[in-house]
Structure 1
Amino acid sequence: MKSILLVCLLGAGMGQSAHAVDASIALTAEALQPYLFDAARTGDAQLLSELIARGSEIDAHDVQGNTALILAAYHGRLVALDVLLQAGADLNLADVRGNTALMGALFKGETAIANRLLADPRTDVNTRNHAGQTAAMFAALFGRDTLLEALAARGADLAMADARGATAEVLARQQGNGLLADRIAQLLAR
């Protein structure tokens, strides 16, 4: 419902006719900012593009500490993610727990999103969250075998340890994924 009203407001603000909408409503970038997060979460790429064009701050954080890119990644919205990346969104910004868009994609098992983020040379694969965890540790924790291979290919440091001293290999073993832990050990031996 919010998106429909916003489209009406944006249409009115652009000089198009909109029934029962006061065209004098000030549509400032600040007033439109919350809709950027909604558009990223729902994957409304057209609205997202319009909001960015109207000056919404692409790297702003919502009240939960998420950026639009983090929301698009977490909710598996590949087209919205691409709109944000093309507009210059910072791939390495984190939420209140220090988790990045890549970490969110790994947590949710959003393989296409994670691969898209890994394909971007701006992605720092060794960023740590507040618990000292990296994207490789997320891949190990959640059994994302193929994504762990992609992380290693991008230069992820598989020997890094989190705040408790656990490496990706240790985390995979703790999760009962001995095959993945053995693969990490092989990658480390190279």
Structure 2
Amino acid sequence: MSAMALADESNVGGQLQGYCFDAARRGDVAILDTFIESGYALDTQDSKGYTALILAAYNGQSEAVEHLLKAGANACVQDKRGNTALMGAIFKGELKIAHRLMATACNPDQRNGAGQTAAMYAGLFKRVELLNDLSRKGADLNAEDALGNSAARLANGEIRMPVAR
């Protein structure tokens, strides 16, 4: 009997996570507020390492991002590839959300699994205003990833690619 109860509890947890993450993707603040008020662990990660905040930022849901941050969601959490909500927002061109995430206490030189920083994303996608703001926050625009790319080089259109063998 206890094995069945554990299986049911695990299934309910998975369903709750699904509802929370769907609300974050859609920007359904009313549902997110219900999760927040009930004490749901906001930094829960799925199999890819995504959190509700990462999903809200990536999907352009600025109001949801604000609610999650005010409720204590950690903007520095990285997914399985090491990407943060800020990196996702920059990638998708969500400038308002990126600026909000830059106001958190995260290290501006936080790196993903490929050694890339948020500034490198900003440089690659020509998000000059964000690149300048990251620099003012202390980001190292000359830091290099595993291929030798830096935010400064990427902003100038210099992209180093893996060498084919």
Q: TM-score, normalised by structure 2?
A: 0.84
Coordinate RMSD, CA, aligned: 1.9
**Aligned residues: percent identity?**
51
Moved over 4 A (4+): none
Q: Answer with 1 or 2: which has the greater Rg.
A: 1
Determine the C-alpha separation between the residues in 1 that align with 2:70 and 2:36.
Answer: 11
Q: Tell me, which stretches of 5 or more residues in structure 2 are unaligned? A: 1-8, 160-165
Code of the aligned partner of 1:140: G
Determine the C-alpha separation between the residues in 1 that align with 2:12 and 2:139.
Answer: 37
Aligned to 1:50: 34
Tell me by how many angstroms 1:33 deviates: 2.2
Which of 10, 21, 25 lines up with 1:37 in the alignment? Answer: 21
SS of the aligned residue for 1:174 comes to coil
Tell me by how many angstroms 1:114 deviates: 0.5
Tell me by how many angstroms 1:102 deviates: 0.4
Aligned to 2:6: none
Q: TM-score, normalised by structure 1?
A: 0.73
Tell me if 1:59 matches 2:63.
Answer: no
SS of the aligned residue for 2:146 comes to coil
- Which of the pair has the greater relative contact order for Cα pairs under 8 Å at 6+ separation? 2
Code of the aligned partner of 1:159: N
SS of the aligned residue for 2:80 comes to coil
Determine the C-alpha separation between the residues in 1 that align with 2:129 and 2:153.
Answer: 18
Q: Work out the number of aligned pairs and report it.
A: 149
Tell me by how many angstroms 1:29 deviates: 7.7
Q: Tell me, which stretches of 5 or more residues in structure 1 are unaligned? A: 1-25, 177-190
Determine the C-alpha separation between the residues in 2 that align with 1:175 and 1:78.
Answer: 32
Tell me if 1:103 matches 2:72.
Answer: no
Aligned to 1:76: 60
Aligned to 1:136: 119
